[in-house]
Structure formats: C-alpha cells, structure tokens
C-alpha cells in the first residue's frame, strides 16, 4: 500500500483502490450475495414479497429432488430425480471433456516445449490462438454446421470412404463435448506447456541414458513434473465446461441437457429467480467440492496450481 502511494501519488492511488473496490463489491460481492439471499426465499407474487409467507427455508434447494425419471445403467433400472440426473450427466461429461482435452493437450504441449524448433514456436502459438479471435457463438455455430447430418464433415468422410452413411453427430452429448473440447482445449495446453517448459532437458536425457524407454520417461519424469500444470488446466477446463451455457445450448441434441440450461430456463422461462439462484449455488458448491475431492485424490496442493 505504501509502495503504491510512493509510486503513483495519493490521488491516483485512491482512484486505483476505489475502482478495484467498486469492481469487487458492486460487480462480484453484491450480486452474488443478493442471489444467495434470494435462494432461501420462496417465489411469491410481488404483492406477497415481504409478507408473512416470505420466510427463509431450504425448500428451493429441495426442488432439485423433484420429478423422477427412469433410467438404466449396465442393465440395472433405477429412478432418479430429473435435475439430479442432469447435474450428474453435466459433471460426468465435463470430466470426459477434461480428460479428452488433457489427451489432446499433453502431446502438443510436450512437442511445443521440448521438440519444436524455438524459432517456429511463435508461429505455432499464433496458429493456436487464431481461433480464439472469433467469438465463442460463431465457433459454436460453425461446429453446428460442420457436424450437421448433411454437413461438410459427413460429406468429407463419405467422400474418402471412411463411413458408408452419414453419422448423426448431433446426438446425445456428442456435439456438446466436441464443442466444449474445441472451446476450452487451449486452457489445458498453456498451463501444461508452461510446466513442461521448466523441465530441465538433462533430466529427460539422464533418464534415457539410464535406459528408460520413451513411455517411462513420460510416466516417471515428465508427467510428475507437469502435474501442477495438468492440475490447473484440468480445474479450469472442468469448471468452464460445467459452467458453460452457450456451447451446450447451441450444439444440443433432443436428449442432451446441461445443468446450466436448467438454471437458465428457471431464470428466463419460469422467471423463478429464487429457485434458479438455489440451483446456481448448488452447481457452484458441488463443483468446488468435486474439484477439492479430485485434488485430494491426485495429491495436488492449491499452492501447486497457483504457480
């Protein structure tokens, strides 16, 4: 603080602090606290707000358990509340997206960090970034066109003879996952790239000199070293995927439902902000719990990720 004043003077320092405080309080804390407070109150006609029925309860959170559907997994039938099912599938497919992103990002990040010619690196990174210049909406729609039943992807695959009849890509969660992977894979590449860049090449050579084949060098030397990068990439991709609204709504199929869509429908279609707030906080809390659990399982510390 004293440093700030010495560097920018009292006037400018005050402005910087006030702007930061405004951003934090008005744009983050107040809206979230408002929604949090609302989530405990019932959805009432305007006239009754503040009346005798407007009391705090957990009933909005309880609504997530209403309305059961039948499903079967591995041949075992069971009934499950529909929103719990949506939530579970959202988490599950976000995990799948995270794993696919890792499988794509790790070899590429390793190539960029240790194999590619350093002079070619700026071009490579630029090529990775170019798609980010296009808005997320356009990219999602582009995939919707590419994956359409009579779209370019099927035409190409039919032409080279890889498939015999068009594949319905936009079915179940397939297109959603493709879209999410495409949108968020960069958030996996760069943390891993940074982590692998800091690995001393002599370590790789020492392992090879001691007789290790390539896969063991990766398993014992590169992967453990890259673990903090993998962890932060995974947390980012998982949280962004589970919280994404645009990609799941553009690339959805008749039987895909993302939990954010449920929240959005409750906000905008049912206009029930109280229940929607409760769902939103459930998503936030449960995702945070899940990430914490995953970090505990993989023995990653928060300080590793912050590196």
What does the binding site for other proteins look like in residue numbers (CB under 8 A)? 200, 202-203, 205-213, 216, 220-221, 224-225
Q: From CA 153, how far away is CA 161, in angstroms rounded?
A: 12
Q: From CA 75, how far away is CA 269, in angstroms rounded?
A: 36
The token pair that represents 285 in the structure block? 């809390």
Contact 278, 39 (CB under 8 A): yes
- In angstroms, what is the minimal distance from the CB of 29 to other proteins? 40
CB-nearer residue toward other proteins: 127 or 210: 210
The token pair that represents 225 in the structure block? 């070293």
CB-nearer residue toward other proteins: 211 or 254: 211
Q: From CA 34, how far away is CA 123, in angstroms rounded?
A: 46
Strand blocks (E) in the chain: 68-73, 76-81
- In angstroms, what is the minimal distance from the CB of 11 to other proteins? 47
- In angstroms, what is the minimal distance from the CB of 109 to other proteins? 18
- In angstroms, what is the minimal distance from the CB of 204 to other proteins? 9
Q: From CA 201, how far away is CA 189, in angstroms rounded?
A: 19
- In angstroms, what is the minimal distance from the CB of 216 to other proteins? 6
CB-nearer residue toward other proteins: 8 or 214: 214
- In angstroms, what is the minimal distance from the CB of 223 to other proteins? 10
Contact 241, 184 (CB under 8 A): yes
CB-nearer residue toward other proteins: 202 or 255: 202
CB-nearer residue toward other proteins: 14 or 198: 198
Q: From CA 110, how far away is CA 97, in angstroms rounded?
A: 20
CB-nearer residue toward other proteins: 6 or 201: 201
Sequential DSSP letters for 214-229: HHHHIIIIIHHHHHHH
């Amino acid at each position: 603080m004293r440093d700030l004043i010495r560097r920018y003077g009292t006037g400018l320092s005050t402005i910087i602090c006030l702007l930061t405080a405004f951003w934090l309080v008005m744009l983050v804390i107040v809206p979230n606290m408002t929604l949090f407070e609302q989530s405990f109150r019932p959805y009432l006609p305007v006239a009754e707000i503040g009346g005798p029925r407007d009391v705090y309860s957990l009933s909005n959170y309880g609504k997530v358990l209403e309305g059961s559907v039948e499903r079967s997994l591995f041949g075992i039938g069971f009934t499950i509340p529909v929103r719990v099912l949506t939530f579970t599938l959202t988490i599950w497919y976000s995990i799948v997206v995270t794993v696919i992103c890792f499988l794509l990002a790790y070899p590429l990040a390793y190539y960029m960090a240790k194999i590619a010619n350093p002079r070619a690196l700026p071009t490579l990174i630029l090529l990775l970034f170019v798609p980010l210049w296009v808005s997320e909406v356009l990219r999602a729609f582009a995939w919707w066109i590419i994956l359409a039943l009579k779209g370019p992807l099927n035409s190409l695959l039919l032409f080279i003879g890889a498939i015999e009849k068009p594949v319905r890509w936009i079915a179940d969660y397939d297109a959603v996952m493709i879209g999410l992977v495409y949108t968020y894979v960069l958030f996996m590449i760069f943390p891993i790239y940074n982590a692998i860049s800091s690995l001393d090449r002599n370590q790789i050579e020492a392992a090879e000199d001691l007789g290790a084949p390539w896969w063991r060098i990766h398993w014992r030397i590169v992967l453990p070293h890259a673990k903090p990068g993998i962890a932060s990439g995974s947390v980012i991709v998982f949280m962004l995927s589970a919280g994404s609204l645009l990609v799941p709504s553009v690339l959805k199929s008749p039987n895909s439902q993302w939990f954010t869509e449920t929240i959005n429908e409750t906000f905008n279609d049912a206009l029930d902000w109280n229940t929607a707030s409760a769902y939103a906080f459930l998503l936030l809390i449960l995702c945070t719990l899940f990430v914490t659990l995953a970090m505990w399982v993989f023995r990653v510390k928060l300080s590793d990720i912050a590196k």
